[in-house]
Each structure stands twice: as C-alpha cells, then as structure tokens.
Amino acid sequence: MPIEIERKYLVQDANVVAGLGGDRIVQGYAVKERGHMSVRVRIFEDREAAFLTLKSPLQGLRRDEYEYPIPIDDARVMLTNHCNHRIVRKTRYQVFAHGQCFEIDVFDGVHRGLVIAELELRDEHQRVVRPHWLGEEVSDDRRYGNFSLALQERAHLLAVQGCSDGPGTRAGEFAA
C-alpha cells in the first residue's frame, strides 16, 4: 500500500527557485469529505500529463495515497465539470539541499506570493536538516493544505515578506 509521509514548510526566500525550471500544475478536488478519501485531479501543463489521486485522511504525518495516470482530455473535463471551482494553480520546483529533495510550490491566482516547501519522508521520525530558506513548519496547519487553499476565494494567508511571485501558471481555460 502506497504511503505518503511529508512535512510542509513556508519558504522564507522564494529566490531559492530563481533560474530553475518548474512544472506548471493545475489541480482540483472532485470529492473531499471530512474523514474520507479525497479525489484530486492534477494536470502538469507543460508535460501534457494528468493524474487522478485518491488520498486517505491524514494520521499524523502519514496517509494512504493512490495515483493513476489518466488521459489529459478526461482530466480537463473533470476539472471543468466536477471540481466546482475547487482549483489550485501553482508551479512546482525541486530543490536539493542537505541530501534532501524539497518540492517547492509557488502559488498563482488568489494565492500569488504564497510559497510552500514539501519534503517526503521515509518515516515520521526521519531527521530533517533545514536549509536557511526554510521557514515555519505548517504540516499540522490545515489552512496550508491544497484542498483548503482550493476552497478559498481570496487569499487569507499572507506571503512571507520578501517573496517574489515567481513564475506563475496561465489563467483561463484548462484546454491546451
């Protein structure tokens, strides 16, 4: 059974991704009910790839996660017809620091300026070596979960001062 164990942090200095190539992502939530699995649709716009992901509720830092590739046209229809505007747009970068791979999400749209780093762990007790650009840990703060962000019509979470917007995703339809 695939297990996801991750920690989530605010990023103090968005310049950590300056000059890096990233993946533009549009993701939406078709189903999410407290205490039950969520159903996420994600499109990697530049790669023309799409995935359907099912995630169990968090238990501490861990949860079950099942991810399947799907046709991109199906993903576009799901985002448009079934995600009810529960959409997040972001660009994801990979940054390696201290032998760890951080996935850094630079959000667009109403969340422009919000920058979050995620670190996948082998187990909940794995030691994390924090690079200087890593800020407050928000793993337990549900406001920073992508589903919570997708529900917000306006950004209620302020970006860390000094963060640049970074490269954003394009606005508009989900069609190529």
Is residue 157 pLDDT above 60, yes or no?
A: no
Q: Is residue 161 part of a domain?
A: no
pTM value? 0.84
Distances (CA, A) of 137 to 22, 59, 119: 23, 17, 11
Q: Is residue 157 part of a domain?
A: no
pLDDT band at 176 (very low <50, low <70, confident <90, very high): very low
Q: Is residue 160 part of a domain?
A: no
The CATH number assigned to the domain holding 97 equals 2.40.320.10
Q: Is residue 174 part of a domain?
A: no
pLDDT, tens digit (0-9, with 9 covering 90-100), for 37-64: 899 999 999 999 999 999 998 888 899 9
- Structural domains in the chain (count): 1
Q: Is residue 158 part of a domain?
A: no
Q: Is residue 134 part of a domain?
A: yes
For 135, the domain range is: 3-151
* pLDDT mean across residues, the chain: 86
Q: How is residue 167 written in tokens?
A: 């490269």
Catalytic residues: 29
